[in-house]
Amino acid sequence: MLLHIPNVLSAEDVAGFRRALDAADWADGRETVGHQGAQVKRNQQLPDASPLKAELGQHVLAALERNPLFFAAALPLRILPPRFNRYTGGGEYGFHVDGSVMSVGHGQQRTHIRSDISCTLFLCEPEEYEGGELVISDTYGEHEVKLPAGDLIVYPSSSLHKVQPVTHGARLASFFWVQSLVRDDAHRRLLWEMDMSIQQLTADVPQHPSLVSLTGIYHNLLRQWAET
């Protein structure tokens, strides 16, 4: 499921992020991928050990917790701590598929997260840079995504995707992965559509007699498909 979630961060939040990131020390983004990814990746990232990465990442996670649309779509079990990247001067990331299992931490504290959902949180307005579209390929073709600052795109981590070259300006974003309670994308989509329909029916006909039954069906499907 490809879904645009608006206003995850406020304009004030984005401005604070931008001030911090403009003064940040960036590293070569190829340091965080394997051999194959390094052949097509040309960008910069905040180092994993960066205190700024940890600080801003906590702000992103807090914003996600306040966003019911994100929760309904992702049904998150675990979220990899958000990372931050910068594309400029022709920087790009060619077609690739995200790794199936991501690790976080060190030594005995290391944990692993299955990547079910990939997320990009845009931190620049579209008119601030040229190029930089996130291109996601699926059975319906290629979809170009370039969202307003503070908006989030979520899509299956199994998708082939790329970032087009940034030919002018700079593109800043946060990106992270989610291990969902529901592994299968088709099941998540069904639950999402049912959830949205229940909410719409609740708003239109609050006392509709089918609401209790539909809500029960939703939770019974979630109970059947959830992995904890």
CATH 4.10.860 intervals, the chain: 185-225
Note whether 93 and 132 are within 8 A (CB).
no
Note whether 22 and 81 are within 8 A (CB).
no
Residue 63 is inside which H or E element, if any?
A: helix 51-65
**Exposed, middle or buried by CB within 10 Å (0-12, 13-18, 19+), for 14?**
buried
* Rounded Cα gap, residues 222 and 129, in angstroms: 41
Question: How many CB atoms neighbour CB 131 within 10 A?
Answer: 17
CATH 2.60.120.620 intervals, the chain: 3-180
* Rounded Cα gap, residues 1 and 176, in angstroms: 16
* 32 vs 135, residue with greater confidence: 135
Give the model confidence (pLDDT) of 23-68 as tens digits: 999 999 877 666 666 688 899 999 999 999 999 999 999 999 999 9
The CATH classification number of 185-225 equals 4.10.860
pTM: 0.94
Q: What is the pLDDT of residue 105?
A: 74
Give the model confidence (pLDDT) of 142-199 as tens digits: 999 999 999 999 999 999 999 999 999 999 999 999 999 999 999 999 999 999 999 9
* Rounded Cα gap, residues 100 and 122, in angstroms: 23
In terms of DSSP H, where are the helices of the chain? 11-22, 35-38, 51-65, 68-74, 185-204, 210-225
Hey, which residues does 218 pair with through a beta bridge?
A: none
Pairing type for strands 3-5 and 76-79 reads unpaired
For the segment(s) 3-180, the CATH number from 3.40.50.300, 2.60.120.620, 3.30.450.70, 2.60.40.3880 is 2.60.120.620
Q: What is the pLDDT of residue 66?
A: 97
Question: How many CB atoms neighbour CB 207 within 10 A?
Answer: 6
* Nearest residue to 76 via CA among 60, 58, 62, 64: 64
Hey, which residues does 145 pair with through a beta bridge?
A: 134
Give the model confidence (pLDDT) of 91-103 as tens digits: 999 999 999 999 8
Confidence at 228, pLDDT banded by 50, 70, 90: confident
Give the model confidence (pLDDT) of 66-92 as tens digits: 999 999 999 999 999 999 999 999 999
Find the mean pLDDT for residues 104-113.
79
Q: Residue 210: is its pLDDT beyond 70?
A: yes
* Rounded Cα gap, residues 83 and 59, in angstroms: 12
C-alpha distances (whole Å) from 96 to each of 29, 66, 138, 225 are 14, 31, 13, 28
Q: What is the DSSP letter of 40?
A: T
Q: What is the pLDDT of residue 99?
A: 94
Residue 5 is inside which H or E element, if any?
A: strand 3-5
